[in-house]
Amino acid sequence: MTTVTTNGRRAVIDPLKLSRPLGAALAFLGVSGCMPLLHGSQGCTAFAKALLTKHFREPIPMQTTAVTELTAVLGSAQNLIEALDTVRAKQHPEIIGVITTGLSEVSGEDLPAAMRAYRAGLGPGDPLVVFVSAPDFAGGLSDGWSTALTALVEAGLQGAGDPTGDPRAFPVLAGVSLTAAELDEIALMVESFGLDPVLVPDLSASLDGHLGAGWTPLTTGGTTRGQLARLGTTRYAHAVGTTSAAAAEALTLGSDTDVVVSQHLAGLDAVDAFVERLWRISEREVPARIRRARSRFADGLLDTHFALGGARVALALEPELLAATADLLACSGAEIVTAVSPTSDPVLRDLPCDEVVVGDLMDLRERAAEAGAEVVVGSSHAVAAAHAVGAAHVPLGVPIEHRYGAALLGVSGYAGGLRFITDVANALLEKTHVTRPTHPFSARKDQP
């Protein structure tokens, strides 16, 4: 049992929290032919777009309803309708993700009603319009992702016009923390058992950093509208991460699909449980490639435990990534001396450490310094804290702006776990200073 505390401060200094609309938009970016549309001031979109552009080093499709001082007061539903019409006429998306913001939520308009009216006028050839409520003032990135993913699953179940499900299809509802590299390994594992992975959403097909034929104004890949519509027809599905749990529940309630939720897929136990399920469902032998990956990971645990054993690690991550990373490092012998989460989540009550703070990077700075942390794991915003503490920084989370390859990071899977513990162990090795005598009598008197 982990104690979940807050810092008791009123000022947020160096925020760890990202906004809820940003999380919702990120989920929609893993859907094919999609345009996320933020219903708020133009800045709500500009900031979210700029942050994701720098993190992924990719063009990010995202539009705004451009609410102004005047329309915020007089009613902004007209902005929303005008924006939907404009985006449809200009970019012809297959899916539009409408996401509210603090601004459009605070005016108290009945936006769901406006959306229902708009949707009623749509025909079969028109784009699917998915509506997500995401006030900036309640929750953060993880909540936005969770709400949007649930809305996508529900939209798929409602539009279930295609009952001819593929018996080999195996949907994976992906949590906010999974990178393209992690999704690749998960998909590969599913595939190797003769199943057809359907990632929902699928950032590994849109924001993995690939060079296509040219620039396009919409997402260049991801879960298709057709795949969403067939979600309820599969026998089995899996959900990875706490931000996919609500969507898993929606799928369970709305279909006969057998859905299992993994809190995360980091560390030997978690990955083993996932592979075991694939093994039982498929009734196939565990492929040699997967056995090999597992044996490499096991070997890596042995090799790195000399560096990781007792290493003092501080983490500042979104709840599900915090749980995944803490479990992986604790199983490698490291000690989680500081854990900071931007928002609250049930998963925080069961971390391999005594205490977790729902707070900011000032908490990370103060607590990591006090605990003598050797390594800080977090986003680019955690670099300054790591430097202040004198700890090494290992990049993970969002945003990663000071380094390349955000899509290649991760902690999940056998291969992903191996890469991560290797990176942390290497950061510790590079940090090791020249050994000096601690007592003056031990020092030799060299001639000058």
Nearest to another protein of 71, 204 (CB atom): 71
Is position 441 an interface residue for another protein (rule: CB under 8 A)?
Answer: no
Long-range contacts (CB closer than 8 Å, 24 or more residues apart) made by 367-374: 367/314, 367/337, 367/338, 367/340, 368/314, 368/337, 368/338, 371/312, 371/314, 371/337, 371/338, 372/312, 372/337, 373/312, 373/313, 373/314, 373/337, 373/338, 374/311, 374/312, 374/313, 374/428, 374/431
Comparing CB distances to another protein, the nearer of 25 and 187 is 25
- In 233-334, DSSP assigns E strands to 236-240, 258-262, 312-316
CB 351 within 8 A of CB 323: yes
Based on the shown chain and the rule CB under 8 A, indicate whether residue 260 belongs to the binding site for another protein.
Answer: no
The runs of H, that is alpha helices, within 121-261 are 141-158, 180-192, 225-229, 245-254
Which of the residues 76 through 95 are near another protein (CB under 8 A)? 79-80, 82-87, 90
Site for another protein in 212-241 (CB under 8 A): 212, 214-217
Residue 144 phi/psi, 5° resolution? -65, -45
17 sits near another protein (criterion: CB under 8 A): yes
Cβ proximity of 84 and 96 under 8 Å = yes
Give yes or no for residue 262 binding another protein (CB under 8 A): no
Q: Which of residues 413-432 bind another protein (CB under 8 A)?
A: none
Q: Which C-beta is closer to another protein: that of 100 or that of 332?
A: 100
Which among 69-77, 120-128, 228-236, 274-282 is the span making contact with another protein, rule CB under 8 A?
69-77
The contact mask relative to another protein for 30-59 (x = CB under 8 A, - = no) is -------x--xxxxxxxxxxxx-xx--xxx
Residue 261 or 322 having the CB closest to another protein: 322
Among 3, 5, 6, 9, binds another protein (CB under 8 A): 9
CA distance 394 to 416: 14
Kindly tell me which of 51 and 172 has the beta carbon lying closer to another protein: 51
- Asked if 73 interacts with another protein (CB under 8 A), we say yes
Q: Is 101 in the site for another protein (CB under 8 A)?
A: yes
Choosing from 3, 5, 6, 68, the residue that interacts with another protein (CB under 8 A) is 68
Q: Is 288 in the site for another protein (CB under 8 A)?
A: no
Q: How far apart are the first and last CA of the chain?
A: 58
Our finding on whether 18 is near another protein (CB under 8 A) is yes
Q: How many residues bind another protein, per CB under 8 A?
A: 72
CB of 291 to another protein, least distance (A): 32
Rule CB under 8 A: say whether 119 interacts with another protein.
no
- Asked whether position 163 contacts another protein by CB under 8 A, the answer is no
Q: How far apart are CA 414 and CA 353, in angstroms?
A: 23
Cβ 312 vs Cβ 372: under 8 Å:
yes
User: Residue 31 has what DSSP assignment?
Assistant: B
User: Strand (E) positions, 329-384?
Assistant: 335-341, 355-358, 375-378
Q: How far is the C-alpha of 411 from the C-alpha of 267, rounded, in Å?
A: 8
Select from 131, 132, 136, 208 the one that contacts another protein (CB under 8 A). 136
| CB nearer to another protein: pick between 268 and 408 | 408
- For another protein, give the closer residue by CB, 37 or 245: 37
Rounded to whole angstroms, how far apart are CA atoms 81 and 88? 11
State yes or no: residue 70 binds another protein (CB under 8 A).
yes
Nearer to another protein, 243 or 257 (CB): 243
Write down the least CB distance from residue 359 to another protein, Å: 11
- Which of 54, 225 has the CB closer to another protein? 54
Q: How far is the CB of 241 from another protein (least distance, A)?
A: 21
Q: Which stretch binds another protein (CB under 8 A): 15-23, 109-117, 157-165, 302-310?
A: 15-23
Within 13 A of 22's CA, how many CA atoms are on the CB side? 23
201 upstream amide cis, omega within 30 of 0:
yes
Residues 349-408 that bind another protein (CB under 8 A): 362, 380-381, 384, 401
Amino acid at 159: G
